């Protein structure tokens, strides 16, 4: 037997935002697994800002998606056939299966998830790469300490909302930046001390009001003007954690750099980049910590789930960059 898998493939590398020319639909016959392999039926697909970078043919922390390949994506699913010693039919798993309905895998990077702990979308969000990014970025790169003032951009997004709540739980004062009154209201609801609506407020001015003594840790998901505003409002010894720069991911040329970077000198501050994959050995530590916080209500794991299957992926990705989501954005297959 085999499985017929509808998939979204990369047809052409985009300049600027991905469009109709970027993607092609394909139907692939997924064969019975060979020795050491398994077949997964994909249930949920994770939408991640980093996806745009994976489309560029440049040297980066991960090779680009190749033309004609299925688009790379992290997914949850269930095992429908297995000749792999670690996985049995019926297991619920997560892995980088792609924007596909069925995936043949050799088990690399595939791990079992427990739907008793949280639903599949949460395993792509607060308990997935998203949550890992928040946890290690904040603790290991940002080195937050109780009593410090933490600023996070895209705070109502997948990574940002976990960062904000982890920092609150650690005893920090937390300020979030998000776009629109709905997101700002939600940030207050989940316990942030202040939230700035960058679409309707002057971030530089508001930051001076809400953090007159400056920011100890800035967790940056966006780059651009918001990074500059944060740099202008650091406290001495501040740590700027570079997680992403979604503001510029779809620009045709390299976007401008942070023109206030000399603030690093004035404030004796550090700007550090990181890639979550480097912390893979320690994911269990983060999963245990975040699961416990979800269980006792200290952390709200929120997801926005889109319907429409793999065919809806191109539009879902544009929605991510437009900020349609609060919390993690996932696509149901």
Interface contacts to a second copy, rule CB under 8 A: 59-61, 223, 228, 242-245, 254-275, 278
**Least Å distance between CB 281 and a second copy?**
15
* C-beta separation of 231 from 261 below 8 A: yes
Q: How far is the CB of 244 from a second copy (least distance, A)?
A: 8
CB of 50 to a second copy, least distance (A): 10
Q: Report the distance separating Cα 273 and Cα 102, nearest Å.
A: 34
For residues 43 and 333, the answer to whether their CB atoms sit within 8 Å is: yes
CA distance 100 to 104: 10
Closest CA to 95 of 167, 180, 38, 155: 38
What tokens were used for 85? 């010693």
Tell me whether residue 31 or residue 256 sits nearer to a second copy (CB atom). 256
Nearest to a second copy of 245, 320 (CB atom): 245
Smallest distance from a second copy to CB 75, Å: 24
**Shortest approach of a second copy to residue 228 CB, angstroms?**
8
Q: Which helix (H) or strand (E) is 10 found in, with range? A: strand 3-10
CA-CA distances (angstroms) from residue 278 to 62, 127, 137, 140, 144?
Answer: 12, 17, 11, 11, 19
Residue by residue, DSSP assigns 228-239 as: HHHHTTEEEEEE
Partner residues linked to 25 by β-bridges: 8
CB of 216 to a second copy, least distance (A): 15
Characterise 186 by phi-psi region: left (phi > 0), alpha (psi -120 to 50), beta (else).
alpha
DSSP-derived 3-state class of residue 218: strand
Q: Are strands 215-220 and 234-242 parallel, antiparallel or unpaired?
A: parallel
């Amino acid at each position: 037997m085999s499985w017929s898998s509808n998939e979204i493939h990369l047809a052409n590398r985009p300049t600027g935002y991905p469009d109709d020319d970027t993607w092609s639909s394909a139907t692939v016959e997924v064969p019975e697994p060979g020795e050491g392999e398994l077949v997964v039926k994909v249930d949920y697909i994770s939408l991640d800002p980093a996806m745009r970078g994976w489309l560029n043919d440049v040297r980066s922390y991960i090779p680009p998606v190749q033309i004609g390949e299925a688009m790379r994506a992290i997914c949850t699913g269930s095992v429908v056939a297995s000749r792999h010693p670690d996985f049995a039919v019926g297991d619920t798993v997560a892995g980088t299966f792609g924007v596909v309905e069925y995936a043949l895998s050799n088990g690399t990077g595939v791990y079992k998830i427990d739907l008793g702990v949280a639903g599949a979308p949460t395993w792509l969000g607060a308990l997935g790469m998203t949550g890992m990014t928040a946890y290690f970025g904040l603790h290991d790169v940002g080195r937050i300490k109780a009593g410090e003032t933490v600023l996070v951009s895209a705070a109502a997004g997948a990574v940002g909302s976990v960062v904000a709540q982890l920092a609150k739980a650690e005893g920090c004062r937390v300020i979030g930046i998000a776009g629109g009154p709905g997101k700002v209201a939600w940030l207050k609801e989940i316990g942030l001390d202040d939230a700035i609506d960058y679409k309707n407020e002057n971030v530089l001015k508001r930051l001076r009001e809400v953090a007159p003594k400056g920011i100890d840790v800035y967790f940056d998901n966006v780059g651009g003007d918001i990074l500059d505003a944060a740099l202008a409002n650091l406290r001495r010894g501040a740590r700027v954690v570079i997680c992403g720069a979604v503001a510029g991911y779809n620009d045709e040329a390299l976007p401008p750099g942070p023109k206030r970077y000399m603030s690093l000198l004035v404030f004796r501050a550090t700007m550090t980049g990181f890639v979550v994959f480097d912390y893979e050995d320690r994911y269990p530590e983060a999963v245990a910590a975040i699961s416990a916080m979800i269980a006792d209500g200290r952390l709200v794991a929120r997801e926005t789930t889109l319907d429409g299957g793999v065919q809806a992926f191109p539009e879902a990705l544009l929605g991510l960059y437009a900020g349609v989501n609060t919390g993690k954005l996932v696509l149901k297959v």
